Amino acid sequence: MACGLRSDAGIGCPNNGGLFESRRGFGACPSVVNLKSGEAKSKAAVADSLSSDFKGRQVHVADVKTSSNWCLKTPTRTQVYAQASICVSKAHKWWEKSTQPNMVEVKSAQQLVNALKNVGDRLVIVDFYSPGCGGCRTLHPKICQLAESNPDAIILKVNYEDLKTMSQALHIRVLPFFRFYRGVDGKVCSFSCTNATIKKFKDALAKYGGDRPSIGPAKGLDESELLKLASMGEISLDSVPGRNEERIGDLLKEGFEAWTGAGLAGDGAMAMV
């Protein structure tokens, strides 16, 4: 991705140097102007203008002729056009740095659903983040360290900007945000935390992590969440337990579109901590 930077502001000349326009062209802005003694009034006016107005801003000074037959005059319109391209390379993608083998980037709602259903009884942590979230960026190195020290846990990273529809359907309203899933219990806890409150993450990791075998398939997302995602076309109907085509049709008839459309629009404000 590239973006252009442009500045149309005029350039002012500082007291100790800069640019000015004269009959000789552009040169260094003098700190002392030698004028004839008979033009003391004009000299005082220039000095006053330099001392009070010439502070990095564009200023206008009236023509003052000297014995060298030149005038000190800042240009009425001096502009500098600057353009730079900022390429977001891999080096700038902080969310890809220091990641561990048990940290997986989720690319679609279907991938998230499948991952949660196929992990057995392992602890799964869903990490919702945004590239522009300062709290997410600050917390990322600690999450990577905890992932390294807990290799049995799986961390699924969800880019809110790339998967905004899914994230909003799951009622994610603040970033960074975490959901913990474990086996047949499905979602066991969810919360937002920062560096200052990282203890919440560590406590949840200690409570729901470790060797905790469970009997039965992993639950994953709640059925209501699966139905919602299926009705929005984010996942296939096969991902919803049983045959729920009729139930989805009933939800749509009862105004499910308003629930997922107007409802999401009302919940669209995102807080980043």
What one-character-per-residue DSSP string does 206-261 give?
HHH-SS---SS----S-HHHHHHHHHTTSS-GGGSSS--HHHHHHHHHTTHHHHHT
Q: Does 113 fall in a domain?
A: yes
CATH number for position 187: 3.40.30.10
Task: Please write the tens of the pLDDT for every residue from 83-95.
Answer: 433 444 555 799 9
| 3-state DSSP percent of the chain in helix, strand and coil, to 5 | 35, 15, 45
Q: Which residues pair with 157 in a beta bridge?
A: 105, 127
Tell me what pLDDT residue 184 has.
92
Residue 247 vs residue 66, higher pLDDT: 247
Q: Does 220 fall in a domain?
A: yes
Residues in the chain: 273
State percent of the chain over pLDDT 90: 49
- Burial class from Cβ neighbours inside 10 Å (0-12, 13-18, 19+) for residue 140 reads buried
DSSP secondary structure code for residue 28 in this structure: P
* Residue 140 confidence (pLDDT) above 80: yes
For 151, how many CA atoms within 13 A lie in the half-sphere containing its CB? 1
pLDDT band, very low/low/confident/very high, at 190 (cuts 50, 70, 90):
very high
CB atoms within 10 A of CB 163: 21
Q: Does 171 fall in a domain?
A: yes
> What is the reported pTM?
0.62
pLDDT band, very low/low/confident/very high, at 241 (cuts 50, 70, 90):
confident
Q: Is 144 a catalytic residue?
A: no
Give the structural domain span for 119.
Answer: 94-232
Tell me what pLDDT residue 213 has.
72
Angle subtended at Cα 61 by Cα 60 and Cα 64, rounded to the nearest 5 degrees: 155
Tell me what pLDDT residue 153 has.
96
Average pLDDT estimate for 15-25? 43
Q: Does 194 fall in a domain?
A: yes
Which residue out of 29, 136, 144, 193 is catalytically annotated? 136
Which residue out of 13, 29, 133, 193 is catalytically annotated? 133
Q: Does 22 fall in a domain?
A: no
Tell me what pLDDT residue 237 has.
86
Task: Please write the tens of the pLDDT for every residue from 205-215.
Answer: 999 998 877 77
Q: Does 123 fall in a domain?
A: yes
Q: Does 47 fall in a domain?
A: no
Tell me what pLDDT residue 137 has.
96
Tell me what pLDDT residue 7 has.
41
Q: Does 83 fall in a domain?
A: no
